[in-house]
Amino acid sequence: MNLKDITYNYLFKATELSEINKFNRDINLDIPVVFAFRSTCSVIAGIDDTISYIEKYSNENSIKIKIVETSCPGLCSFDPVIGVKIPGRTLILLKNLYYYEVFSVFDSILNHFLPDTKLILAQIYDEKYNSWPEVPDFFSLKQLKIQKRNILKPINTYSPISITDYFAKNGFKAFAKVLTKLTPNEVCSIIENSELKGRGGGGFFTGKKWRKALENNNNPKYFICNADESDPGSVAGRMLIETDPFRLIEGMLIGAYAINASKAIIYVRNTYTLAIDRLKKAIEQTKSAGLFGDDIFGSGINLNIEIVTGPVAYVCGEETALISSLEGSRGMPKPKPPYPSDKGFLEKPTVVNNVETIFNIPFIILNGAESFKQTGVKSSYGTKLFTISGKVDYPGVYEIELGTNIADVLTAVCDDESLNSIKAVHIGGPSGGFVHPDKFYEKLVFNDSKNKSNDIWFGAGSFVVLNKSNCIVDVCKYFLDFDVNESCGKCIPCREGTRVLYDILKRISERPVTTSKHETLQRFKGVTQLEEIAVVMQETSLCGLGQNAPNSILTGLKYFRNEFEEHIYEKKCDAGVCRDLKLYSINIENCVGCGLCVKRCPADAIIGSLHSAHFIVQERCIKCGNCFKICKFNAVNII
Amino acid sequence: MEEFLKNLPASVSKTELLKILQEFQDKYGYLDNDFIHELSKKIGIQPGKIYGIASFYSQFRFKPRGKYIVNLCSGVACHINSSENLINEFTKLTSLKDGETSADGKITLELVPCLGGCANSPVVKVNDKYYTKVTKTDLLKIIQGLK
Ligand SMILES: Cc1cc2nc3c(=O)[nH]c(=O)nc-3n(C[C@H](O)[C@H](O)[C@H](O)COP(=O)(O)O)c2cc1C
Ligand code: SF4
Ligand code: SF4
Ligand code: SF4
Ligand code: FES
């Protein structure tokens, strides 16, 4: 049977897929099976070397081992994660398994001994098999318990690039249902009833958007997946594509059907090589399976999917800019209205949805809107992926039920020590802001910016944890620098505003040239200016980049005003990050002229002859602090 | 280059422009002037305009790049873990700034947004190889290894 026939029988004749249920087949093999949880993050951590050492182990010892490449569970601090299933025993997950550990670990495990505990993550309990003693159950880990994995599977034992593996997970059943049982109108209604909101930052109702495009009969229409994912600090979309490219395709097929589009386009940033590779393979197989093309399974529906790789510019994540980029122009935003659903790609009605939004679609279609609304809280149903990084012990991509509070998330991603030293969380990337510990009880929900009491806006889900070694002013400056570089320059409030804000921050994070009262006043005036400029930018910028660029500064000033003031008045950066605030000088009383600091100064900034007092030439000093550290006579002062 | 141009279809629409530029760069490493001029004739868009479009995107390069492309991550997680110090150190060791190539054509420095290894930040990538949790000492070793 060819793939098309298999697909037809499976989807429309409900044939048993015994030959397809790969997981069970693999797990019952009478040879050891290794699951390599391979995604970009684990590749970076070195999983490819680990895999080749496992192959080497297998060859050198003439032991047959089946290696299944799947995708990462999203717990990056444990990478590379490898699962080993030996006959008769439960699947055990090993963490931080670098290549040099492979031989000894496999020597143990294949002989039913546990390896070094620092390499053991967990096991997947299954009463059919003997469990490993004293190895925790994967689902009991706090990093898993905080999550509600609806669109990510907790652990992937399926191959992400095999359509038959996807079938074994009910793959394409939602699309088959749509094709045979539902009209586009009905599909739109289901999505409307689910109250699904866009996960790309805007939080707009997906169903509403689809409905508008459906009602517009200016054909041909387009359905676009926004996989540009340009927010620094967010990799959730990449993770989703690498994990389950078929689900994205299925969601897009449904979306395109719902609005009567004849073409679906995935716009993915071209740096996502592994995601693109898997997506291409998945598209190819979907096509061979007959799930898109002309007259899909005799339904009379023609639909094509194409993948376009974006040449990277942050602002291209904005939907109108993305459309300009697809049209071969510079990716600059356009004023809305007209909305893309009226006039989008090539002036035709177009729906643009985020990857994560689309991932929710198959579930809603299969299980119904009410079922989707079982998760989350009112007006924020479902889950959201957060990319958690910074000063935490267990960074990664976490799927969190909406309505969960920040404190609970932090407890799951930190051990006690780092938990106690958290100073703030920065949520939402360049458009987001700081959350003060006093607000950690707040729930993570969609937030229309009019609601001022809760100013937490999670955007695309970047979640960066900061501790006392991080400086709030510096983080603001980092995001503003990003905005200055990425502003497309089309409108003045954003182009000039980001620059002015950046300059003000730069000024207060550097030592003033003079110590005059006037200079201090200027620095202070900068802060009051920050607020004025921010308002202008929010109200007059064309797109979200300019409108939201001041958010970090505003929340920073609101909750950490003291840090700004310290920088201005005391010229002090407690975190020690703003080095340019410091002034190193040598106290001639204490200096014995040993010359040690001269040798250590990387900038040739210290002069003086042996046995007489030395001197620092400020213009040359790069504030590295070496002289302060090396001097045995306490002669170097930091002012 | 001639062959590349010859292989393009007779008429190319503007929506294909970025794809063509990407394909050319993948093959030859950067977009050179002659190519932009020839392409301009073919698709009827002024060279200046093509340049304007291409330079909007950070992927496109207009100068030959080195044998080793060193990507220092300037993403937010790396920044929080002091990637700035690495960037300064790199510039100190090689006198290269973002986008510059060493005189011998060996090393090009390109700062990039998040490389995707935030858990092990700061991350450095040289061609296809990744280095994680990089310290200044590691960086020196990496540079010394670029022969
Ligand atoms: C500067 C800027 C960058 C954006 N970047 C992205 C992005 O990388 N991915 C994304 O899906 N949406 C991004 N958006 C939001 C899109 O404009 C759009 O709202 C979204 O793709 C719609 O899909 P959704 O309704 O499914 O969220 C960005 C918006 C702005 C203003
Ligand atoms: S707000 Fe900034 S990024 Fe957006 S259109 Fe205006 S200049 Fe461009
Ligand atoms: S190390 Fe201290 S005592 Fe020695 S020359 Fe430098 S400042 Fe003076
Ligand atoms: S701080 Fe560093 S650069 Fe400045 S004088 Fe001391 S050793 Fe030299
Ligand atoms: S921020 Fe550097 S790898 Fe993500």
Give the integer Cα–Cα distance in Å for A208 and A177.
21
Q: CATH no. for residue B126?
A: 3.40.30.10
Check whether residue B93 and residue B136 sit in a common domain: yes
What's the mean pLDDT in A443-466? 81
Q: How far is the CA of A201 from the centre of ligand 1 (A)?
A: 6
Check whether residue B21 and residue B82 sit in a common domain: no
Cβ-based neighbour number of residue B90 at 10 Å: 24
Q: What pLDDT is stored for residue B86 in this prediction?
A: 92
Check whether residue B129 and residue B84 sit in a common domain: yes
Is A139 a residue whose pLDDT tops 80?
Answer: yes
Is A26 a residue whose pLDDT tops 80?
Answer: no
Check whether residue B36 and residue B77 sit in a common domain: no
Is A358 in contact with A347 (CB distance < 8 Å)? no
Check whether residue B99 and residue B40 sit in a common domain: no
Q: What is the extent of the structural domain holding B9?
A: 2-56
Residue by residue, DSSP assigns A315-373 as GGGSHHHHHHHHTTS------SSSPTTTS-GGGS-EEEEEHHHHHHHHHHHHH-HHHHT
Is A23 a residue whose pLDDT tops 50?
Answer: no
Average pLDDT score over chain B: 89
Apex A464 CA angle, A625 and A566, nearest 5: 45
Q: Is A307 within 8 Å of chain B by CB?
A: no
Is A234 a residue whose pLDDT tops 90?
Answer: no
Ligand nearest to the CA of A631: 3
Who among B16, B22, B80 is closest to A464 (CB)?
A: B80
* Banded pLDDT at B12 (limits 50, 70, 90): confident
Give the integer Cα–Cα distance in Å for B46 and B49.
5
Domain A171-374: give its CATH code: 3.40.50.11540
Residue B10 lies in a domain: yes
Chain B, 104-133: which have a CB under 8 Å from a chain A CB? Answer: 112-121, 123, 130, 132
Q: Is A597 in the pocket of ligand 3 (CB under 6 A)?
A: yes
Check whether residue B28 and residue B96 sit in a common domain: no
Q: What is the pLDDT of residues B23-38, one digit of tens each?
A: 999 998 899 899 999 8
**Domains in chain B, number:** 2
Residue B112 lies in a domain: yes
Domain A582-638: give its CATH code: 3.30.70.20
Residue B61 lies in a domain: no
Is A21 a residue whose pLDDT tops 70?
Answer: no
Check whether residue B52 and residue B14 sit in a common domain: yes
Amino acid at A96: N
Cβ-based neighbour number of residue A310 at 10 Å: 26
Question: Helical H runs in A368-436?
Answer: 369-372, 406-413, 416-420
Candidate CATH numbers 3.30.160.40, 3.40.190.10, 3.30.420.140, 3.40.30.10; the one for domain A25-145: 3.40.30.10
Q: What is the pLDDT of residues A320-338, one digit of tens each?
A: 999 999 999 999 999 989 9
Check whether residue B79 and residue B51 sit in a common domain: no
Q: Is B77 in the pocket of ligand 5 (CB under 6 A)?
A: yes
Q: Is B69 helix (H, G, I), strand (E, B) or coil?
A: strand
Is A553 a residue whose pLDDT tops 70?
Answer: yes
Check whether residue B99 and residue B133 sit in a common domain: yes
For chain A, give the percent of residues with pLDDT over 70. Answer: 96
Cβ-based neighbour number of residue A610 at 10 Å: 10
Is A488 a residue whose pLDDT tops 90?
Answer: yes
Q: What pLDDT is stored for residue B124 in this prediction?
A: 95
Q: What is the pLDDT of residues A141-192, one digit of tens each?
A: 999 999 999 999 888 888 999 998 898 888 999 999 999 999 999 999 999 9
Q: How many residues does chain A have?
A: 639
ipTM value: 0.90
Q: How far is CA B124 from CA A115, B115, B132, in A?
A: 31, 8, 7
B15 to chain A, closest Cα gap in Å: 4
Q: What is the pLDDT of residues A35-48, one digit of tens each?
A: 999 999 999 999 99
Residue B29 lies in a domain: yes
Q: Is B50 within 8 Å of chain A by CB?
A: no
Please choose from B82, B115, B132 the residue to mutate so as to test ligand 5's pocket, defined by most ligand atoms within 8 A of CB. Answer: B115
Q: What pLDDT is stored for residue A450 in this prediction?
A: 52
Buried b (16+ CB within 10 A) or exposed e, A75-106: bbbbbbbbbbbbeebbbbbbbbbebebbeebb
Q: What is the pLDDT of residues B52-92, one digit of tens each?
A: 999 999 889 998 889 999 999 988 889 988 898 899 889 98
Who among A41, A45, A328 is closest to B17 (CB)?
A: A328
Give the integer Cα–Cα distance in Å for A608 and B145.
37
Where are the domains positioned within chain A? Answer: 25-145, 171-374, 380-405+422-466, 471-580, 582-638
Count Cα atoms within 13 angstroms, Cβ side, for A515. 5
Domain A380-405+422-466: give its CATH code: 3.10.20.600
Q: What pLDDT is stored for residue A185 in this prediction?
A: 97
Give the integer Cα–Cα distance in Å for A457 and A447.
6
Residue B76 lies in a domain: yes
* Banded pLDDT at A22 (limits 50, 70, 90): very low
Is A451 a residue whose pLDDT tops 60?
Answer: no
More confident residue, A445 or A30: A445
Is A356 in contact with A237 (CB distance < 8 Å)? yes
Residue B76 and residue A235: Cβ atoms within 8 Å?
no
Q: What pLDDT is stored for residue A197 in this prediction?
A: 97
* Residues of B with Cβ-Cβ distance to A41 under 8 angstroms: 116-119
Q: What is the pLDDT of residues A367-378, one digit of tens each?
A: 999 999 999 999
Check whether residue B44 and residue B72 sit in a common domain: no
Check whether residue B125 and residue B95 sit in a common domain: yes
What's the mean pLDDT in A375-404? 95
Give the integer Cα–Cα distance in Å for A572 and A445.
36
Phi, psi of A93 (to 5 degrees): -105, 130
Average pLDDT score over chain A: 91
Candidate CATH numbers 3.40.50.300, 1.20.1440.230, 3.10.20.600, 3.30.420.40; the one for domain A471-580: 1.20.1440.230
Q: Residue written as tokens 């550290």?
A: A629
* Banded pLDDT at A55 (limits 50, 70, 90): very high
Q: Is A109 in the pocket of ligand 3 (CB under 6 A)?
A: no
Q: What is the DSSP letter of A158?
A: S
More confident residue, A29 or A638: A638
Nearest-Cα residue of chain B relative to residue A42? B117
Angle between helix A47-60 and A102-109 (nearest 10): 60
Shortest-distance Cα residue to atom 1 of ligand 3: A631
Q: How far is CA A309 from CA A227, A270, B21, B22, in A?
A: 9, 5, 12, 9
Who among B53, B57, B130 is closest to A312 (CB)?
A: B57
Query: To 10 degrees, the CA torsion angle through A488, A491, A497, A500?
Result: 70
Is A14 a residue whose pLDDT tops 80?
Answer: no
Residue B63 lies in a domain: no
